Amino acid sequence: DQQVKQNSPSLSVQEGRISILNCDYTNSMFDYFLWYKKYPAEGPTFLISISSIKDKNEDGRFTVFLNKSAKHLSLHIVPSQPGDSAVYFCAASYGVNSGYALNFGKGTSLLVTP
């Protein structure tokens, strides 16, 4: 059963505008959430993370927001650039007994058009 869900398979945004990628989760035990970016024929690359005790984390053009009561997080990219075009995966982890496995969503393909 998918514990991390990205319900939008794709998103298209104009260069310079804001990209908002959404992620929902079902397991309240998750204590960290991470975003990864993936280009074709490459492995996922870590982008930004947030602890469950925070509601916002910012790194340059990337900001992640966490709403624990709604079990929802979002990644904001401002301003969007053509090089941001990639598949974005939301992931969550918890618990030594689970090996701190990353539970991944299915990904959202972002296309930033000039």
Partner 1 sequence: EAQVTQNPRYLITVTGKKLTVTCSQNMNHEYMSWYRQDPGLGLRQIYYSMNVEVTDKGDVPEGYKVSRKEKRNFPLILESPSPNQTSLYFCASSFLFRSGEPQHFGDGTRLSIL
Q: Which residues bind partner 1 (CB under 8 A)?
A: 2, 4, 31-32, 34, 36, 41-46, 49, 51, 89, 93-96, 99-102, 104-107
Half-sphere exposure of 24 (CA within 13 A, CB side): 8
| Residue nearer to partner 1 on the CB measure, 26 or 51 | 51
Smallest distance from the beta carbon of 36 to partner 1, in angstroms?
Answer: 8
| Residue nearer to partner 1 on the CB measure, 16 or 95 | 95
Give 92's contacts (C-beta < 8 A, 6+ positions apart).
3, 4, 25, 27, 30, 32, 33, 34, 102, 103
Distance (Å, whole) CA 32 – CA 20: 20
- For residue 36, give both structure tokens: 């990864």
| Residue nearer to partner 1 on the CB measure, 1 or 114 | 1
Smallest distance from the beta carbon of 79 to partner 1, in angstroms?
Answer: 24
